[in-house]
Chain A
């Protein structure tokens, strides 16, 4: 039985100054567990930041309960909370003069004495954090001289060195390139399982979340909170709650988001895996109806339409565009 870290029961959150006094989130109940990477997804404005603030102890719930390790978060003093929970925010970090090693060492601040002197135990944790995030080689590099991806890994290392049971990350991959995004999410997954941490990541990156998360929390304006294994949510179709409206849906087979009403009536014969991509290209080119079928041949990748043969989808499209005009 996995141990739960953060537990919310009938949580209602709002801002005291809002006018009229309307709750942002109502009656939320969920749990986060040790050894798990949980991704929080939802449309903009649904209240993800509000929930994060409540978890960080910065917002008092209007009603309901929010506990960490069975203690109400509001009852934690700031120093106590900092030993149990660390964050990585999306705002940029400024001190360019600081080295990666010094940055990670900052994570030990909740644990050191008033001078901030590092004991052996502290140094071990720092080294460990650098190792796990594969940033050891960057230890003496200055923050202004490393790439964005490296900087983000350094920030994660810092949060790791803080050695709380829980790590909360707010859109950590927002400005990163593709490779970095995958690397970081996999890194977080690694940390969750191997270091027995409970990691909550707020993200918009659905596909990477599906790849790496042990649990998804879906917030939506129209449906109550849904929590569960990502694959369960896919199969049950609950993932579509992220895509309100009629335009898009989640394609279970392909694992990606696509337009709801495929308009293509083109017949494609042959390898259906390749055929899927041919159809997609035709849809984008607004070619939804053809007199003749298209044949896909493996081996030497050939598409044939009528008497013509093409070796690139692009060539087929160009041809069809010209002939379909007339």
Chain B
């Protein structure tokens, strides 16, 4: 009886995912009908070349990025929540995405802040990605050093949060001293953006995300054991220390790369695992991991559709949409009677 519920939910989720993906590619500022899209994708003939350009080089890469980011962030968030046994943990608690922000801030703001000419690093997408990756990598190394010395997971969590704060403080100082133009660009970056990545970049992002998912797949059983806490997990043959490393590696790759390519994207990592728990009514990670991945992709694809404000020339930054959608979800979750018991 229960198994069939789970299977049905998965089928529904898969269908919803395909629907969201199609919806995302179909809706935008320019009106292009779905039948034209399908015909173009399959036969290669389009009504207008501009439509082919828009779909193939703008909307499709954007949809794939939404898919990758949705999957990566929710898987990362789920790991954090289970390992730290904290319902408010998310992909950014180890400070890794703040590190990415620091890298980008140094690239965009430091020149202007120190009186060197602004934008001296150039604004190419690869430069931004590179800077973000360096920053994320640096924080990841620092967190790893701490993780190596500290046994207690709660301590690690707090240290990670403090790293995030410290890095944000540095970014604040840079922002304070930098010129208006550079600051505006950095602010725009920190609002997140799924579009504007060309296929070569999407491929790189996809590769890194896949590599980041790998440790998750290998440790799915261990996460189930971690539900009872570290002592019980150890008694069942699981090595929490090894799991911790896997988790830092996975989150570093997932949250770090997604933030480096797309800027910080809020709420998906925190809200989606809870949604998966509630909908599938299980704590079994063999179900939760794929369920969260699917839900994360669906949610981000739909948020992107909303952010595109279809039919109008304006667009909303993705962070605004995910926050507007995510905050009520988290509030609703916390207000449920059984929240603290159920987690």
Contact indicator per residue, chain A 87-101, by CB within 8 Å of chain B (1) or not (0): 101010111111000
- B282–A93 touching, CB < 8 Å: no
- A87–B235 touching, CB < 8 Å: yes
List A residues 52-101 near B (Cβ within 8 Å).
Answer: 56, 58, 78-83, 85-87, 89, 91, 93-98
**Does B117 sit within 8 A of A, measured CB to CB?**
no
**Which of the four size classes fits the interface of chain B?**
20 to 34
Contacts of A116 in B (CB 8 A): 220-221, 224, 286
User: Taking each of B218, B227, B236, B338, which has the highest tally of chain A beta carbons within 10 Å of its own beta carbon?
Assistant: B236
**Does A263 sit within 8 A of B, measured CB to CB?**
no
- A102–B221 touching, CB < 8 Å: no
Contacts of B227 in A (CB 8 A): 94-95, 98, 106
CB distance from B189 to the nearest CB of A (A): 38
The residue from A81, A93, A114 contacting B228, defined by CB atoms under 8 A apart: A93
- B284–A102 touching, CB < 8 Å: yes
Given A81-B237, A87-B235, are A102 and B283 also a contact pair (CB < 8 Å)?
yes
- B342–A106 touching, CB < 8 Å: no
List B residues 222-248 near A (Cβ within 8 Å).
Answer: 224-225, 227-229, 231-232, 234-239
Given A109-B225, A114-B218, A114-B221, are A97 and B282 also a contact pair (CB < 8 Å)?
yes
**Does A144 sit within 8 A of B, measured CB to CB?**
yes
User: Taking each of A87, A94, A142, which has the highest tally of chain B beta carbons within 10 Å of its own beta carbon?
Assistant: A94
Contact indicator per residue, chain B 265-292, by CB within 8 Å of chain A (1) or not (0): 0000000000001000111101000000
Contacts of B220 in A (CB 8 A): 114-116
In the bound complex, CA of A20 to CA of B232 (Å)? 31
- B224–A106 touching, CB < 8 Å: yes
**Does B341 sit within 8 A of A, measured CB to CB?**
yes
- A162–B236 touching, CB < 8 Å: yes
- A144–B338 touching, CB < 8 Å: yes
In the bound complex, CA of A162 to CA of B237 (Å)? 11
CB distance from B289 to the nearest CB of A (A): 11
- B338–A94 touching, CB < 8 Å: no
**Does B149 sit within 8 A of A, measured CB to CB?**
no
Contacts of A140 in B (CB 8 A): 2
**Does A149 sit within 8 A of B, measured CB to CB?**
no
- A97–B281 touching, CB < 8 Å: yes
**Does B176 sit within 8 A of A, measured CB to CB?**
no
- A79–B237 touching, CB < 8 Å: yes
Contacts of B114 in A (CB 8 A): none
**Does B85 sit within 8 A of A, measured CB to CB?**
yes
In the bound complex, CA of A96 to CA of B282 (Å)? 10
The residue from B85, B237, B342 contacting A82, defined by CB atoms under 8 A apart: B237
Contacts of A89 in B (CB 8 A): 231-232
**Does B343 sit within 8 A of A, measured CB to CB?**
yes
Contacts of B281 in A (CB 8 A): 97
User: Taking each of B229, B281, B286, which has the highest tally of chain A beta carbons within 10 Å of its own beta carbon?
Assistant: B229
**Does A112 sit within 8 A of B, measured CB to CB?**
yes
- B238–A109 touching, CB < 8 Å: yes
The residue from A80, A97, A106 contacting B236, defined by CB atoms under 8 A apart: A106
In the bound complex, CA of A78 to CA of B236 (Å)? 8
Which residues of B does A touch, CB under 8 Å?
2, 85, 218, 220-221, 224-225, 227-229, 231-232, 234-239, 277, 281-284, 286, 338, 341-343
Q: A102-B282, A106-B227, A140-B2 are in contact. List 19 more A-B contacts (CB 8 A).
A: A58-B234, A78-B237, A82-B236, A86-B236, A91-B231, A93-B228, A94-B85, A94-B229, A94-B343, A96-B338, A97-B283, A102-B284, A109-B224, A109-B236, A112-B221, A116-B221, A116-B286, A142-B342, A144-B341
What are 22 inter-chain pairs, A to B, with CB distance below 8 A?
A: A78-B237, A78-B239, A79-B237, A94-B228, A94-B343, A96-B338, A96-B341, A96-B343, A97-B281, A98-B227, A102-B282, A106-B236, A109-B221, A109-B225, A109-B236, A112-B221, A114-B220, A115-B221, A115-B286, A116-B224, A144-B341, A144-B342
Which residues of A does B touch, CB under 8 Å?
56, 58, 78-83, 85-87, 89, 91, 93-98, 102, 106-107, 109-110, 112, 114-116, 140, 142, 144, 162
